[in-house]
Structure 1
Amino acid sequence: MQKFRCDAPKMFSKPQPGVVEEKITSDEPGRVKYKTTYWPAMLFRDDSMTLAPGQEVAVVGRQGITLLVRPL
């Protein structure tokens, strides 16, 4: 039986700009536009907040193919 392996987050040395395309909440990941491409994204810290489409965010890292974001 193979165990599920959760990739450790890889933090960027400098936050990069992104824009929310699909709502992101503390309970649900969403999607952001980052460097001309759309990526799955989730909040970096488990804050009780909602990031709305069109909102600018800081992309601070990634976990697997999911970007880690925080509000600006």
Structure 2
Amino acid sequence: MNFDNSEKAIVDEEIRPNECGRVRFQNSWWPAKCDLDLTFEPGDVVRVVGIDNITLIVEASL
């Protein structure tokens, strides 16, 4: 799966540093994590920048 850094997801379950959460992306629920020292709360819009196995890698939405 390739991402153009403009793909957006909505956080459903909190994502904390070094911990997975969950996002809604392309009409499905996905586990998600952020490799940066950031925390995202439910309802936050994030940018999908990659995938690791079945876990989406997300960052703050611009």
Q: Normalization by structure 1: what TM-score? A: 0.76
Give deviations 1:3-23, integer Å, cap 9, x for gaps.
xxxxxxx762x0201000000
Q: Give unpaired runs (5+ residues) of structure 1.
A: 1-9
Q: Give unpaired runs (5+ residues) of structure 2.
A: none
Work out the CA distance in 2 between the residues paired with 1:27 and 1:59.
17
Could you tell me which residue of structure 1 aligns to residue 11 of structure 2?
20
Could you tell me which residue of structure 1 aligns to residue 47 of structure 2?
58
Quote how far apart the aligned CAs of 1:48 are. 2.3
Structure 1 vs Structure 2 CA RMSD: 1.4
Structure 1 stretches of at least 4 aligned residues deviating more than 2 Å after TM superposition = none
Secondary structure in structure 2 of the residue aligned to 1:25: coil
Cα–Cα, structure 1 residues 26 and 11, in superposed 2: closer, same or farther, change >3 Å?
A: farther
How many residues are matched?
A: 60
Secondary structure in structure 2 of the residue aligned to 1:50: coil
Q: Normalization by structure 2: what TM-score? A: 0.87
